[in-house]
Structures are given as C-alpha cells and as structure tokens.
Chains A and B, each alone.
Chain A
C-alpha cells in the first residue's frame, strides 16, 4: 500500500521511499522532510476538485503532497 491509497483520517507506518529515477530529487526531499522508515503518517485532509493534493501529518509537521508525490511513499502492511 502507498500513501496515496490511504483515505482521509487513516494512519500508517512508512516502510520506505521509492525513487522514480536514480537520484530522484522529490524522493530525496521527502526523506529530508522526515518521510523515513518507521515514521507514522496520517492523512489529515484531501483537497477539493478531485482529492488532489493530500495534506498529511508526519511527526509534528503537516505537508501538502500531490498524489504523484505521495505514491513514492510505501507503507507497511497493517500488523
């Protein structure tokens, strides 16, 4: 499961971030912003007009991510 599959209000644990291409800058920035394995993440809102982007909460911080960016975040299967 990926972060973009998560519905509003649902949370999960990050498994890893996937690079779309070698040295993917978006993936790198995601990692720097704290999207790292083992972190809990929660979808706090989805935008109007088609549900893109998502607002997610990780740690103490909220970020707006487009679905394509969220798709790089792979989640652990619910234990």
Chain B
C-alpha cells in the first residue's frame, strides 16, 4: 500500500547535532540545486534542495539547523523542533526525517536520534563519517543497531564523492513505518549505553591521541594564543599579497574591455555611458573579487576545520572583559567577510542583551566590502616597502585598520554593557573533532559568495554607477567653459553643497559625491570615485588608473581621514536592513546608524587634524 499512497514528491528533512556533517551530506545529495532563504517570520536560514533518486522519485530536501536536543534553547533549535514535529506554520510536515549521526561521536548523537524518534514519525538514521570511525578502529554493527533502534540505518561518507549512495538507495525504498517510542520518563542515556554496548566495539584508539596532542597546542594558554594571532595575521597578509597577481589580471581584462568598447563605439553619450559609467564603475569593484574570495576561503576553511570554536574558547575571557561571551566571536569573525551573515549568526547567542550588543558592534568588524576602499587608498598612499625585515608596510597598515575596528568594538561593547547586573552567560560550546575541509563544500561555499558578490555588482553597483555618471555628466558644461565638465554638473553642485559638512574632516567635493552612492554599499564608493574622476579627467587621463590619479590629487591627510571614516561609517543598506529584521525594531537601526556616523566623523576629524599638525595636509 505504501507504494500507492506515496506522493510524487517526497518531502524529507535532514536533522542532526551540530558538527555531524549534515551540511556536507546535504551538498552531496543535492549538488548545487539549493535554495537559501529564511523561515517565515524568523531569520533562521532555510536551505532547501532537490534531488532525484535512481528510480525517478523527486525529493525536496530540507537542511534543518543543527540541534543538540528538541528542548530548544535557541531560535535555531526551536525551528528544528517545530518543523520536525510538523508544527511550523507555513511549513508542511516532512514525510521522512533523515537523522544524521557522526560515527565517531555516537554517544552524544544517538541521544539526539532517540529524541527525534520520540516524535514517532517515519525516519531513517544515517551514520556519517563511517570512514573516520573505521580509522579509529570502531566497528559498528549496522544490522544490530537497526534492529535495536527499530528504524532503517545506513552509512555515509558525506565528504567523499559517491559517499551518499546508501542514502539515495534508502530514499528509494518505501517509507518506513513510524518507529517505536520510549516511555517519556525513560533514561535516554541508559538506552544509548545499551545500544553502544550491543552494536559498537571499541578497541584502544590511536587517532584520538593525535587530536589530543593537537589540542594541547591549540588550546594552550600561550601557544594557542600565538597560533591564533599568527593565523589571523597570515590571513590578512594573504588577502593583501596573494590576491595581487589575480587582481592585476582582472584589472588588465577590464581595461582592455573598456578600450575595446571605446574603439568600437563612436564618441558620444552612449560611449561615455558604457565606458565611464558601466565599465569603469563595475570594473573597479570586480577587481576585488580575488581578495574577497581569498578572505572567504580562509573563513570557510577555519569554520570547516573545527578551529573556530577553539578560537572562541581562547578568547572567551577577553570577550567577557567586553561583557560578551566566546559565542560572540563566531558572528564577529563572520562579520569580517560581511556583517549580514555575521548579524544573522548572532541568533546562536541565547542571552538577548549579548545578542543585541553583538549586533551593534558587528558593523565595526572590517567587512570585505571595505577592502576595495582600503586597498585603493593604501596602494595610492602607503609606500610598498618592507618593515621589520619581513612585513609589507601595506599589509601592516591594513592589519592596523582591522585592529582599530576590533578595539573600538570592544570599547563600545564595554560601554553598552556597563551597569548591567552581573548575570550568568552560558558558554557550553562543543569543540568538535578536527576535520580536513571537503573541497566540494569549500568550492560550493565560495561559489555562493562569488555569485552573491557578482550579482550585487550587476545590479546595485551598475545601477548606481550609471546614475552617478548621469548626475556628473548633465547638465553639460557651457560652450567655452574652462574647468572640467563635472564642475558644472548636478553632482558637482551636490558635492559642493555637502562640502561645508565634510571639509572640516579633510574631504574634497569629489569624495562627498562618492559618499552618496556609497551609502547603499561601501564598495560602490570606489566605483563612484572612478566615475567622478573618469568624467572629470581629460581624455588622456581617463585611461590611466585611479591609483596614481588619487595619489597626485589628494593629500595623505585626506586619504588617512577617509580610511578612518570607513572604519566606522555604517554605509551599507543591507546591514541596516538585516539589523531591522533581526531585532524587529527601527529603534536599534537608528541607534546603530547614529553612533556609527558619530564615531566616523569624530575619527576622521581627529585623523585629519593630527595629519595637518604633522604636515600631512595639502601642499
């Protein structure tokens, strides 16, 4: 009867403890056919993918957030609990629950499987990372486990190609009957112990000793901190120096493309629009793709390898001195890539006040969108020389800018948490086993980031570039006018109108113009500068790159002041929008924007005046 009633599309959901390799399995099962969105009403990420089994059955697979228990203690776990039980509004109950367990951590993960089994819904159990278990000499009697649990059990190696074949096969079989359920007062741990005794043989283990040795260094109070600092420093040096050849390559392609278009099209408005507006605008931002990808590669690798929670462990005390917990470290580190996923990651912080403070300081972490600005200004104004024997001065300045963001975040957090009654902040963080990150998962993660970045370039950045080009080209200069055309344009007028506000911090009117579209997204300011200067320059200069142009026209004081501005300024609509969504109130958005703009103005003001005093003003 099963085969007849079965619908044409099967709805299945993956559940499991954090770190059970659930997402790798999801990637393996669905490939790139994934849709990432949010659950209705909350900002918990909802990942759904599609797959087709050998017999042609279509499956819609939901990747539920990781949970330790169905007694939810965070919004993530609440979503998992409600979707599994078929109680989530707007979310059809899954036909089949696929409970994923880490073969090397069965004691913890089987308990959660029992939790899920208590729901009494059709389920299968996937013992993942079976290869790692075998390496450790663990023998798991799958048939026995299946008999004891009363649900189908299959194995998988989610990080290996073809490692999910048993799961595919299991999906093709008729839905299993609802599983047996324990009395509610049963001792789950005792049941787990019995299961392990029956089905798992565990000889003396060797590879665990390796993990322990590694942890002795990584978690060491002195060496662990040294490793952490070295990793962070290496990351920033890599972002700055490894990306350079790639960026030069992209720049060359963009330039050639611009020249090509300029050659093909007749002089006039259309040529100006395409070359100075679209290509110059989008091109200057696309150049930063290699840097952003390298940064994401580092963060994804740290995340996948299991290192991040250890960094959280090392830094917990430091974070506590700012009134936060080590849990805030992960959202804050993600904010170095982008504050939007960082702010979304704060939902794993149970304490509401900690969460709010983490959201407010997340924009101070230097996100990848600031990199284009930093890179441009550093390349134009900071000499490329070696300091202290090994470091590139440009890399050191970049590192200092990151540190400036972090230190101010700590100070702001401290101030926001002042006067709070000392209450308990649970940490309770799992330090998962170390794993070599799966190439497929890294590639998929990078691809998702790259396509998000490029689609932003394609939409927001091109639109704003064109708009800005129009503003700076019209009205055209009167016949016989002396100065460059942009002086007579609308943008020129707006820039000069804003100048009295920004002159005290050393900005010129071109920067003021670039700040307006830069409000939507920081990296747009670079393309806006490119557009403003491309239009303002004579034909011959327009071909030259922005870097020498800026170093010729700006004083170092202006450049440093703009760098200081960008450490703080909340110039990103997406960040403000996600703060609104996460906190559900405009009040927090207004507070965040106001305090960040205030800090930005103050920092730039101080930087400019210090630079002036030291002789770094206009010559």
Interface residues of B, dominant DSSP? helix
Asked if residues A62 and B431 are in contact (CB atoms below 8 Å), the reply is yes
**Cβ–Cβ contact A63 & B318, under 8 A:** no
Q: Determine which of B73, B221, B326 lies in contact with A29 in the assembled complex, contact meaning CB atoms within 8 Å.
A: B73
| A66 → B minimal CB distance (Å) | 5
A36, B224: Cα distance in complex, Å = 30
Q: What is the bound-complex CA distance between A29 and B430, given in angstroms?
A: 12
Contact assessment for B314 and A48 in the assembled complex, using a CB-CB cutoff below 8 Å: yes
The answer to whether A53 touches B316 (Cβ under 8 A) is yes
Chain A residues in 8 Å Cβ range of B106: 60
B318 touches A49 (CB 8 A): yes
What string of 1s and 0s marks CB contacts (under 8 Å) between B215-236 and chain A? Answer: 1100111101100000000000
Other than A33-B428, A60-B108, give 15 A-B pairs with Cβ distance below 8 A: A25-B426, A29-B426, A32-B69, A44-B212, A51-B221, A52-B320, A53-B326, A60-B105, A60-B208, A61-B105, A63-B428, A63-B430, A63-B431, A64-B427, A66-B427
| Chain A residues, Cβ within 8 Å of B312 | 64
For the complex of A and B, list the 4 residue pairs with the smallest distance between their C-beta atoms, beginning with the closest: A45-B219, A48-B221, A49-B317, A62-B431
The residue of chain B having its C-beta at the shortest distance from the C-beta of A46 within the complex is B221
Q: Is the CB of B107 within 8 A of A59?
A: yes
CA–CA, A20 and B215, complex, Å: 31
Hey, which chain B residues are within 8 Å of A51, CB to CB?
221
Contacts of B431 in A (CB 8 A): 55, 62-64
Given contacts A48-B225, A59-B108, A61-B108, contact A29 B317 (CB under 8 A): no
Asked if A6 lies at the interface with its beta carbon under 8 angstroms from chain B, I say no
Q: Does residue A69 face the partner (Cβ distance < 8 Å to B)?
A: yes
A68 within 8 A of B: yes
Interface set of A (CB-CB < 8 Å, partner B): 25-26, 28-30, 32-34, 36, 44-53, 55, 59-66, 68-69
A4 and B221 CA atoms in complex are apart in Å by 17
Residue of A nearest to B431 (CB): A62
Is there contact, CB below 8 Å, between A47 and B221? yes
Instruction: Say whether B104 faces chain A, with CB atoms less than 8 Å apart.
Output: yes
From residue A46, how far is it (CB to closest CB) to chain B in Å? 7
**Total interface residues on B, using CB and 8 Å?**
41
Q: Is the CB of B215 within 8 A of A29?
A: no
How many Å from the CB of A7 to the closest CB on chain B?
14
Find residues 401-432 in chain B having any chain A CB closer than 8 Å to their own CB: 424-432
On whether the beta carbons of B68 and A29 are closer than 8 Å, the reply is yes
Give the chain B neighbours of A47 by CB distance below 8 A.
219, 221, 313-314, 316-317
A and B contact pairs by CB, cutoff 8 A, 8 listed: A36-B189, A52-B316, A55-B431, A60-B105, A62-B430, A63-B430, A64-B316, A66-B425
- Give the docked Cα–Cα distance between A45 and B189 (Å): 26
Q: Are B427 and A65 in contact (CB under 8 A)?
A: yes
Nearest to B104 among chain A residues (CB) is A60
B370 vs chain A, min Cβ distance (A): 29
* Complex interface residues of chain B between 191 and 211 (CB less than 8 A to chain A): 208
By beta carbon, the residue of chain A nearest B190 is A36
- Pairwise interchain contact B107-A66, C-beta atoms closer than 8 A: no
Query: A61: which of B320, B321, B430 is its contact (CB, 8 Å)?
Result: B430
The listed residue (A34, A50, A61) touching B189 by CB distance below 8 A is A34
Q: Hey, which chain A residues are within 8 Å of B427, CB to CB?
A: 53, 64-66, 69
Q: How many angstroms from the CA of A50 to the CA of B314 in the assembled complex?
A: 11
Does B16 reach chain A (CB closer than 8 Å)?
no
Whether A55 contacts B107 by the Cβ 8 Å rule is no
Residues of B within 8 A of A25 (CB): 73, 426
Please give the distance in Å from A41's CB to the nearest CB on chain B.
Answer: 13
Q: Which residues of B contact A53 (CB under 8 A)?
A: 313, 316-317, 326, 427
Write out the residue numbers on chain B whose beta carbons fall within 8 Å of the beta carbon of A63: 428-431
Identify which of B68, B220, B427, B432 gathers the most chain A CB atoms within 10 Å of its CB: B427
Question: Across the interface, do B215 and A69 meet the contact criterion of CB distance under 8 Å?
Answer: no
A37 nearest CB neighbor, chain B only: B189
Kindly list chain A residues whose C-beta atoms are within 8 Å of the C-beta of B121.
none
Chain B CB count within 10 A is highest, among A30, A33, A52, for: A33
- Shortest Cβ gap from B70 to chain A (Å): 10
- CB of B495 closer than 8 Å to a CB of A: no
- Most chain B CB neighbours (cut-off 10 Å) among A30, A61, A68: A61
B111 at the interface (CB under 8 A from A): yes
Q: Is the CB of A32 within 8 A of B71?
A: yes
Is A55 touching B215 in the complex (CB atoms < 8 A)? yes
The reply to whether A28 and B317 form a contact with Cβ atoms under 8 Å apart is no
Q: In the complex, what residues of A have CB within 8 A of residue B108's CB?
A: 33-34, 59-61
Q: Find chain A residues with CB under 8 A from B221 CB.
A: 46-49, 51
How far in angstroms is the closest Cβ of chain A from B553?
47
B98 to chain A, nearest CB (A): 21
B309 adjacent to chain A (CB < 8 Å): yes
Q: How far is the CB of A44 from chain B (nearest CB, A)?
A: 6
Could you tell me if A34 and B111 are in contact, using CB atoms closer than 8 angstroms? yes
**Residues of B with C-beta under 8 A to A28:** 71
Q: Indicate with 1 or 0, residue by residue over B300-325, a CB within 8 angstroms of chain A CB atoms.
A: 00000000010011101110110001
B320 proximity list for chain A (CB < 8 A): 52
B318 surroundings in chain A (CB, below 8 A): 49
In the assembled complex, the Cα of A28 lies from the Cα of B188 at a distance in Å of 13
Most buried by B among A32, A48, A52: A48
Q: Residue among B309, B314, B428 with the most chain A CB within 10 A? A: B428
Chain A residue, CB-CB nearest to B325: A66
| B467, chain A: closest CB distance, angstroms | 49
Residues from chain B with a CB closer than 8 A to the CB of A69 are 426-428
Q: What does the 1/0 interface line of B326-345 toward A look like (CB < 8 Å)?
A: 10000000000000000000
Instruction: Give chain A residues whose Cβ lies under 8 Å from the Cβ of B215.
Output: 44-45, 55, 62
Q: What residues of A have a CB within 8 angstroms of the CB of B432 in the complex?
A: 62
Given A34-B107, A36-B189, A45:B69 Cβ within 8 A:
no
CB-nearest residue of chain B to A62: B431
Please report which residues of chain B, range 422-474, place their CB below 8 angstroms from some CB of chain A when the two chains form the complex: 424-432
